[in-house]
Structure 1
Amino acid sequence: MNIALFGYGKMGKMIETLAVRRGHQIVATIDVDTVDIDFARMDVAIDFSMPDSAFGNISKCLEHQVPIISGTTGWLADFDKAVQLCDEKDGAFIYASNFSLGVNVFFELNRQLAKMMAQLKQYSISMEEIHHTQKLDAPSGTAITLAEGILDHTDYAAWKLGDAAENEIPIHSKRIGTVPGTHTVDYSSAVDSIEIKHTAHNREGFALGAIIAAEWLVGKTGVFTMKDVLGL
């Protein structure tokens, strides 16, 4: 498979290493200063760029009939536009706030726990996410996805970064050293607590999941999620 990488930072380089190991070829590495882009060489594109670049990258690929997956967070104000363009161009697109296979299982566990806890009003919910100091957005896209999974199944009205009202889920964001990503969901009452947690040990899980998603997407048409890729 001929893969183009939009964004060639630490994640892009990790994806390159694993993709080559899996027998794929990297035909382009594209950063903000790249001018000439040969879309004809691409079987699929993987976007781990910057929030202000992601929608443009996605749009260009869809315009040129290149399937694209994006793991860039912080651009979702334009997500509906990307979906509309994908439909108009009969393209193929996957966005995930986190491509880690373990995290996507964690998303499903989080939703199931929220359903079970919905009637137990004595428990209050809080969340914490910890990332490296170079991560620009807060809360993380993964934390937002977790919060939305809870909102879908409880009476909470919204999530909020930091201190929150009684009907809001507080998300506490920390930026520490080189931490790849740790996410915790806590249900606490006066008598006990229930906690689920995912800890990434390195970036390899994110990169591998992105490659698996790209392999799955080639030859398909539509807007998909990691639930489709993993059959969850």
Structure 2
Amino acid sequence: MLTVENIDLYYGAAQALRDVSVTAEPGQVTCILGRNGVGKTSLMRSISGRQGIRSGRILWEGRDLSRLRPDARARLGVATVPQGREIFPLLTVRENLETGFALLPRKERRIPEEVFDLFPVLAEMMNRRGGDLSGGQQQQLAIGRAMVTRPKLLLMDEPTEGIQPSIIKDIGRAIAYLRDQGHMAIVLVEQFFDFAIELATRVAVMDRGRIVLAGRPSELDEAEVRRWMTV
């Protein structure tokens, strides 16, 4: 279980997160909603270790991650699908997927078949360079690369951004599949309410670096959630 407890995060003198607390459990999707610039990506960067926190704690399976480097967190099962995808454009699809091998024991260094079951296009393009793929295909590649590491905690930052509707549906099915396997906790940052609410077990809405609404989808007023995402 992921437990983020009362964290504050700064960029220089500017405070990006204020007393933020969220949880994520295996077999569930915790969706972080909100407008641009409210701190969603900063929260993801704090969990992955790409940005240090000023105060509070980040616990994964009871262990305090707060001072661990990103690679140490990754070895504990934390994987990230970052905003903007960050695939390697000059590497092939196969080589991009195999970058996940660095975290695995030698005997486990193989690409899981479920990557290709979920995203068949990757199997068809194994020898194509990542930079030659469409934006949607690159997003599928970024998710597949994270899956190669066999994560226990998957952080996904706006995976539908700039993606065509048909691939958004594929990504939604992939997230639902990973959720329903029951062994992975997923934190999903989204701006699209309808996409997020179909997948979410819990929802946290952010504004100005704080959590302003939180609960199960059935407990929240849709109009109020939408208001926080548009004002």
TM-score range, shorter chain: under 0.3
* TM-score between both structures, scaled by the size of structure 1: 0.26
